[in-house]
Structure 1
Amino acid sequence: MGLIERTEALASLEALLASAVMGKGRIALVSGAVATGKSELLHTFAEQAIDLGALAVTATGSRVERDLPLGVLRQLIQDSPLVAEERERAMALLDEGARTVRASDSQAETLEQIDAQVIHALCTVLLELSERYPLMIIVDDVHHADRASLLCLAYLSRRVRFSRIVAVFSRSDHGRSTETFFQTELLRQPHCRRVPLAPLSRAGVMSLVAERVGRETAERFSEEWYALSGGNPLLAGALIDDYQDAAQAADGEAPADLVPGERYGQAVLSCLHRGGPRMLQMARGLAVLGEPDSLARLLGIGPAPVNQALHSLTVAGVLALGRFRHEAARAAVLAELDAQEWAALHRRAAELAYDAGASTTTVAEHLLQAGQVDAPWVISVLEDAARSALREGRVESAVAYLRLAWRECADEQHRMKITTMLVRAEWRINPGAPAGHLAELADAMQRGHLRGSDAVVLARALLWHGRFDDARDVLEHLNEADDGMDPETVTELVIARPWLRATHPSFLAHLRPATGEQGRTAIVSVAANRRLDAALALADVLARGPREEVVDAVERILRGCRLDEMSMDTVESALLALTYAGRPDKAAPWCDLFSAEASTRHAPSRQARLAAIRAEIAIRQGDMPGAEHHARTALDIIPLSSWGVAAGGPLSSLILASTAMGKYDVVNELLDQPVPDAMFQTRYGLHYLHARGRYSLTTGHPALALRDFQLCGELMGRWDLDVPGLVAWRADAAEACLRMGRSEQAQQLAEAQIRRCGPATPRVHGIAMRVLAATGEVRHRPMLLRQAAELLQSGGDRYELARALFGLVEAYHALGEYRRAGMIAGRAHSVALECRAEPLIRALSRDSDGVGAGAGAELSMVASLTTVLSDAERRVAVLAAAGYTNREIAGKLYITISTVEQHLTRTYRKLNITRRADLPSSLEFGSPVTA
């Protein structure tokens, strides 16, 4: 890495050597934080020895050789160019001195035990050598030298003043306090100079980086490089290595960010190990705690050593403001801990955090890493931390806390409460995950160890997985409970009734209604009231059909909702209430909003359930590509096996969308997927029967389709859910009858469907009108189909609008009105393209060659309608483009036929066209211009 910002230090050493060559011996003590370039400086100085007229004799101290008597001095002797006789004498002296040191009882006795004559004789070898050659004696990491060597080097240093020797020693500022005698001995000598090495400045780091990766990159990341290295050359170099590794992994493309990696982590560890055991101990404790506040108590040492070590780590560039400069450094330190030390540190940290009143999340994280802490407060801390984690969207953490609490809890009743919380938490990740706990909870209920509210949660989980017999047992067990239920149980039971009514209607009879005070008055929480209101709204829409006051109430509920721990049921019920009330336009933006929130809160189960709802909304808007996307998303997030009886939701939307788009192979594969029989006892089964029937009808199996539609209708009637907004089974059954040649039965079914529709259900009304048109004489069909198209335009279903327009094209063809058929065909084609309804697109293309030509001119003409025509002319033009006769236009707008003719004449002139057929076919039915 060169000698960036070290040239002044090198010049000082060279000056000292120049004095030594002239017979004025000198000593230099090079000091600084770990990895600040001391070894690099000494190595460079030694390499220049010959050029400077001296002979370099080097040695290096090592922590692992600290107990090797005279080890460092032996390195110097072995590196010296001695004649054989001198070398033999020196080695004999080293062996004698080593024997003496080994015979002493402790290092403290070394000075007294080692023979002063041995020290003198060894130093004399080097002094005599300097008479032949000027010597450069270099000892790197002298703070790791053995004590006997230090005694000899101290003796030598006192005697080099009038010799041709420069002795250079490097010492880390983090050496052991027991070795400070050597530093003191050197610095008291008048011929000793201290050469301190500071960390690199910002400019120094930038120069270092520029040498390796170029000035442009250095300038781009200069502040970040300096902040992460603290000026430590080793750390800065490791960051460069990580940057270059990232660039190589990206085929030479420069990384967009500076991301410390493995090289940086290893460099941090290298600094810590060089700094000694105390520094490493401090770093490990800090890595466990994350902050230094309780570090002294964690490690069981005084505050002074801790503060000293923290200062040293900061100077070394590892820490900043008491914390690791990057998480990669902390991760590297933690990775080095063995399992036993890891657990012990986290156990102690948990106890300290609890005693200090830290957040339950902080304590729980340490408990999780410790694995086991034998203390009475552990369970309550983990439960509270889990609740906080669920509120914050940290579902995986909540599950981990609850699993540990479950494992540590000895009280069975309390353990079942924890298990119920765990089921709820795991449900947010994958509804299939809690299945393993259901048998345990059911067994606990039989033994009386399960609370009433927890039993309701168990019943709902069992229903999801289609275990209806077990769910029935739980509900009957609740019915047998005493009237004196706790408020939480009453709340869950009150909410469960409308939820069962809308989702599992066949089970409603197994739950006893709440009586007396065991009703809504017992619910005191705002969130619980919202859950109940949403469930009641959904049940009301499915039992009585859409009402404006219910729609308004549902929107008020949604405005007050967030996806916290308990509100998913509220959101789901409210969104479905809007959807089944014929307001998918209102439900869609709310669903998108909550889907985005679920994504940020890392709740896969909720993302999937919302995606399934969004797919159903898209189906009712005729957005077949959107329905396919959302249904696929739902099934990708949660595997089909984990959906239980709710699989009918996303599956039916995907089947309907794929059928409409002509992807019959996809539908075959979907229908081959096994679904639980229990699904057909739920609302999800109705959707599945409807979707399967639509596929059978489309692929030429009307008898199979009719059977599915009739079964769907039978179940809806039995459950008192026979409303058009749920499944318009009569209209579909009527279409099946038509395909089978049963026109009279088809007409009866279509008319029955229409009678059940009201102003709030234009979509289903339009579908039924389209089918009804097909049951009558050809000459009556256009009027009914135009009404159907207007209703479907109002209802917002683009796919069904395309089908109605196609029917109108066929009706005009049958009547020989080809000009009108051509006018409508263009509009039908454009709508079918939006829906990617390939079968419709192909049929329209066969019936109308060249459909879609001149689209640009048509769009221009549509724009002209809003600029050059009056309101009256525009209203007439839109109806004329839709195929209405002059008489029909006059009747709809309450004007005379002559007035219609005048408006059309002026319109032709303004648009530069000559006939009605030239009017743009892409004008909207039901648009404001027809009002």
Structure 2
Amino acid sequence: MGKRVGIVAGGIVAELFERDEEMKLLTDVMAGVRRREGGVVLIGGGPGVGKTALLDVFLRRAADAGAQVFSASGSVAASGADLAVIKELFLGSDDEEEIRSATRSSKGAGEFEDRLFAAMCRETRGQLVVVAVDDVQLADAASLRCLLYLVRRLRTAPLMMVLCESTGPHMLPPAIHAELLRHPQARQLRLLPLSRDGIAGVIEHHVDTAEASDLVADFHAVSGGNPLLVHALLADSRDARRLDPHQPSKAVASTAFTKAALAWAYRAEAELFDVACGFAVLGEAATPPLVACLVGRGADAVEQVMTALDTAGLLDGGTFRDAAVGKAILENVDAVTKADLRRRAARLLHDDGAPATVVAQHLLAASVTESWAGRTLLAAAETAMEEGQEELSLDCLRLAGQSARTERERSAVVMARVKIGWRIDPRLVSPWLDPLVDALNAGHLKGGDAAWTVKHLAWHGQFREAEESLARLGEAPYAGDPRVEDELHVVRAWLKSTCPSVSDDAPGRAPRAQRRGLQPRQVSPSSYAVELLGTVMAEGPHDHTVAMAEEILRGCRYNETVVEALEAALLTLVYADRPDRALFWCDALLQQAGPRSSGTVVAILSGVRAEIALRQGMLPAAEEFGRAALAAISLPGWGMAVGTPLSSLVLATTASGKSGAAGAWLNGDVPERMFETRHGLLYTHARGHYHLAVDRPAAALEDFLTCGELAKEWGTDTPTFLPWRSSAAQAHLALGNSVEARALVREQLGRPGGSTFRARGVSLRLLAAVSGPDQRPALLRESINLLEACGSQVELIRALADRSQALHALGAPAKARMAARHARTVADNCGADALFRRLFRDEVPDGEGGLEGVEGEDEGSAGLTAAERRVTALAAVGHSNREIGRKLFITKSTVEQHLTRVYRKLGVRSRAELSDLFVGTNMGTGPGAERLARTS
């Protein structure tokens, strides 16, 4: 970093950084002039790089060294007046009047130049002379001729000439450059922006050392090292720090920065300002041809300004290094001109094939409502929505509505509002449903848009309108349109699994199956997924169904697949009793959503995630995702679907012992017609379990039986979807109706899906409750194994509680305590402490979290060594001592010694008792026990 160069003038210190070499060259040329070797220095550079500052410092040094200094500046305003710069040079000199008289003379230019040189010699009387002209490119032609004459006389006079030229459209002609640089003592300087070290030198005395490195990078990113902007940023940043001393130091572009940006832009050079405005308006889309067309300047002028801005550090890759520069320029353009620039930029970019969102930014800024803008705005709204720019999307839709001229255009805008509004929050769709139906009836909607109108109506509970729209889609111009038929098939499948009460089977119309067969359908993820969901809800799970659902999810991405397909495929896995696979795919999709915490897709996926957590018995997660689902969109936006996240929250809080919270969720208003949907079934079923928890078994039974009636009517009577029979059996047991409970349980075991691990495990637990004492342990052992295998932890705790009670009743307290300890472990894992305490209240002393009599060294598997656990795990699944020794690479005698100690610690006398004791514990008795033996 060059050392700081400074002078004191009037108490103000002017500082230059990284200009040591330039100052040395100027000083060397001045020293040569003293030896009668006249010299000329041409200083060039982009706007704001410090040419004037360098010149001022040098001239003060020259004056202090005894030189006679004449200085002037060129300007566009005076460029039309002959010899304006020359007059300014000699303003205040003794020969000023003679020079003025000479300029008014009609004599030839040569005689005037001679008189000018003679007057200068008299003025200086042999003293060193420095003639300096800033912005020489703006000097009038006559003054330039005089300056060139003086250059030719440099060899015979102690004269040094310093000319500053700004890079840009008004640079000196090449002929003048050649004339100036032909002199033997001519020098040319090109000033560049400051480096990071130079910026550090500017700010080092104004910021903390610890913050300097980050601040230097910040300053360089915004200013590009342009000294004018660097000092302005420093002033703004210091002002901001004074207003808030606690905020960290950072580059703040405010008042001083704006003024500095305008200082170089408003240099009375119209081309410079116009082209700068063009770059500011076009932003990242700026190219020289586009800027030239936008501002009405020649391509050469644009290229020259680009060069100037680039050498000044203001451009980076053809755009302003920081948006603050362009913003500062445009803030000082009047509203009419700015709007015109935006309008023209929009059309230029549109014709150039720019992305719709880029064009839309300009259309919005200028409020362009021309007919061509409508299609661009609709495309931009869709793209912006996909990119998560919701506000931009809505703004585009509003302007598109103003641009629409025909009924079809207005219908297209309405459809776009509905589709995009639904993705943001379905509440935004409500005001547009009536216009949407009008557009459908008028035949103005296209393809899939027409079909999905039915879904939007059903989502908001307008079932009659949905049925009428279904009927309308069977008429001209929609009838026979393959695009309508394809999407309508998906919509019908969605209605069947979600809103079964909505039907379009009017008298005299062909059955749906026949209508579907009229045209070959286009296969789509949505079509497959909703059909799979309907199949699993009606027929129960099948391996093929699970495989197809996973195949759909494998090919889906968050933003590329409609949410109906994602939801249906995930729920297919959930209702096929594969919550583990549903968890994997749902988490992957939510991860693709990134930091988004709002929007309909996030809301629906979070709702599904809550259902998955509930099936696995992960109560805190179910509550967390249920709340996240409701927070992602407004409650009115949920429409009929609000029953699903509410049901998860009610079940999770009820099982967690938070009956007050569950009651609060149930006390909220829900749409009346929700109870005609799948979501209403789930809500009613959850409400029934709340009634059971607060000792209202009669109310619970009514809810469960209502669910059963509707599930039968709608063809969705499978226990993997809605186990209303086992739930009703629990209510009957609470009412003392064991016969009715047994009948419901046996009926559930025979239903499609009743043999899945979860459904059968719950059924066997309830069957044990209505069976004799001797039958209960075996039924509960199988129930525990099934529930543990499928990961249904809440139901597992209930089964372990029943087994503990059954073992106590049979006089086996050690085994009962082992079951209780296992339940404690499960409850800790799934956040079901309140449920555990309620079910094991006799085992949990007041004020303690453990189990009385279970934590001792000689009780349960906790007292076994690692070697004993390995031997026990293999013995419990039926391996002989010899087989155990071979598997564990120990002798048969060692196995026998381990088993002797295990029998003593666990209080058992045989392998049969050992196996019975460890059924349902965390050691297990199946392949899991083998794995435990290998890894313990």
TM-score normalised by structure 1 residue count: 0.80
Query: Is residue 44 of structure 2 the alignment partner of residue 31 of structure 1?
Result: yes
Contact 1:228 1:325 in 2 (8 A): yes
Is the partner of 2:192 in helix, strand or coil? coil
Match of 1:11 in 2: 24
Indicate the residue corresponding to 1:428 in structure 2. Answer: 423
Q: How far off its partner does 1:690 sit? A: 1.7
Matched, 1:622 2:613: no
Q: 1:514 to 1:66 in 2, by over 3 A?
A: farther
Match of 2:9 in 1: none
**Is the counterpart of residue 734 in structure 1 residue 734 in structure 2?**
no
Structure 1 residue 304 and structure 2 residue 306: aligned? no
- 2:271: which partner in 1? 278
Within a 5 Å distance, the mapping from 1:166-181 to structure 2 comes to 168-174=162-168, 176=170
Corresponding residue of 2:192:
199
Whether 1:540 and 2:540 are equivalent positions in the alignment is no
**Contact 1:395/1:603 (<8 A) preserved:** no
Tell which deviates more after alignment, 628-637 or 179-188.
179-188
Measured in 1, the distance between the counterparts of 2:879 and 2:258 equals 74
Select 1:187's aligned residue among 157, 180, 189.
180
Distance 1:664 1:185, change over 3 A: same
Q: Which amino acid aligns with 1:311?
A: T
Residue 464 (structure 1) shift:
1.0
Q: Which segment is superposed worse, 195-204 or 312-321?
A: 195-204
Q: Deviations over 1:183-231 (max 9, x none)?
A: 6699389698444233158686577579567999888999998787666
Q: 1:676, CA displacement in angstroms?
A: 1.0
Any conservation in 2 of the 1:876–1:903 contact (CA below 8 Å)?
no
Q: CA deviation at 1:790?
A: 1.8
- Residue 679 of structure 1, CA deviation: 0.9
CA 493–173 in structure 1, closer or farther in 2 if over 3 Å, else same:
closer
Which residue is 2:835 aligned to? 840
Q: CA deviation at 1:273?
A: 3.7
Question: Which residue does 1:922 correspond to in 2?
Answer: 922
**Aligned pairs for 1:743-892 within 5 A:** 743-756=738-751, 758=753, 760-776=755-771, 780-843=775-838, 844=840, 847-849=843-845, 850-851=850-851, 853=855, 861=864, 864=867, 868-869=870-871, 872-875=874-877
546 and 508 in structure 1: CA distance in 2 versus 1, 3 angstrom threshold: farther
Q: How many residues align?
A: 883
1:318 aligns with 2:314: yes
Aligned to 1:433, the other structure's residue is in SS state helix
Distance 2:875 2:241 in 1: 66
Deviation string 1:669-725 (CA, Å, 9 cap, x unpaired) is 322322111111111111111222222322333333333223222322332222112
Q: Indicate if the aligned counterparts of 2:532 and 2:572 stay in contact, CA closer than 8 A.
A: yes
* Contact residue 505 and residue 512 of structure 2 kept, 8 A: no
Residue identity in the other structure for 2:871: L
The residue matched to 2:427 in structure 1 has which SS? Answer: coil
Cα deviation 1:541-588 (Å, max 9, x = unaligned): 112222222222222232333345553222211111111121111211
Map 1:73-112 to 2 at 5 A: none
| 2:165 aligned counterpart, secondary structure | strand
Q: Which residue of structure 2 lines up, in the alignment, with residue 593 of structure 1?
A: 588
- The secondary structure found in structure 2 opposite 1:526 is coil
- The correspondence of residues 601-620 of structure 1 with structure 2, limited to 5 A, is 604-620=599-615
Q: Would you say 1:632 and 2:645 are equivalent positions?
A: no
Compare 155-164 and 47-56 and name the one that shifted more.
155-164
Q: TM-score, normalised by structure 2?
A: 0.80
* From 568, 576, 583, the counterpart of 2:571: 576
Matched, 1:522 2:519: yes
In structure 1, the partner of 2:368 is 372
Which region of structure 1 is more displaced relative to structure 2, 745-754 or 820-829? Answer: 745-754
Matches of 1:111 and 1:657, distance apart in 2: 102
> Percent of pairs identical after alignment?
34
What's the secondary structure of 1:506's corresponding residue? coil
Give CA deviations for 1:618-645 in whole Å, capped at 9, x if unaligned. 1111111111221122122112221111
Alignment of 1:672-691 (within 5 A): 672-691=667-686
Tell me, yes or no, if the aligned pair for 1:431 and 1:643 is still in contact at 8 Å. Answer: yes
AA at the equivalent of 1:172: S
1:823 Cα offset (Å): 1.2
Shift of 1:801: 0.8
Q: Which amino acid aligns with 2:716?
A: L
The answer to whether the Cα contact below 8 Å between 2:50 and 2:191 also exists between their aligned partners in 1 is: no
Opposite residue 53 of structure 1, the aligned amino acid is G
Within 5 Å, which residues of 2 pair with 1:36-55? 36-49=49-62, 51-54=64-67
Worse overlay, 218-227 or 363-372: 218-227
Paired residues of 1:26 and 1:166 also in contact (CA < 8 A): yes
Deviation at 1:611, TM superposition (A): 1.0
Distance 1:705 1:113 in 2: 116
5+ residue gaps, structure 1: 102-109, 879-901
**214-223 or 493-502: which moved more?**
214-223
RMSD, aligned α-carbons:
4.9
When structure 1 is superposed on structure 2, of 122-131 and 356-365 the one drifting more is 122-131
Which deviates the most, 845-854 or 206-215? Answer: 206-215
- Structure 1 residues 48 and 672, CA gap change in structure 2 (3 angstroms): farther
- SS state at 1:783 partner: helix
Is the counterpart of residue 662 in structure 1 residue 657 in structure 2?
yes
Q: Distance in 2 between matches of 1:817 and 1:543?
A: 44
Output the CA distance in 1 between the equivalents of 2:266 and 2:856: 78
- The Cα shift of 1:438 comes to 1.0
- Taking the aligned partners of 2:24 and 2:565, their CA distance within structure 1 comes to 77
Query: Do the aligned residues in 1 keep the contact of 2:573 with 2:582 (CA within 8 Å)?
Result: yes
Q: Cα–Cα, structure 1 residues 481 and 155, in superposed 2: closer, same or farther, change >3 Å? A: closer
2:855, 2:239 → 1: CA distance?
55
Take 1:437 and 1:652, find their aligned partners in 2: how far apart are those partners?
Answer: 29
Task: Answer yes or no: is 1:463 the counterpart of 2:458.
Answer: yes
The amino acid that maps onto 2:167 is D
1:550 alignment counterpart? 545
In the superposition, relative to structure 1, how do residues 508 and 865 fare at CA in structure 2: closer, same or farther (>3 Å)?
Answer: farther
Rounded Cα–Cα distance in structure 1 between residues aligned with 2:436 and 2:209: 65
Return the alpha-carbon distance in structure 1 between the equivalents of residues 398 and 513 of structure 2: 39
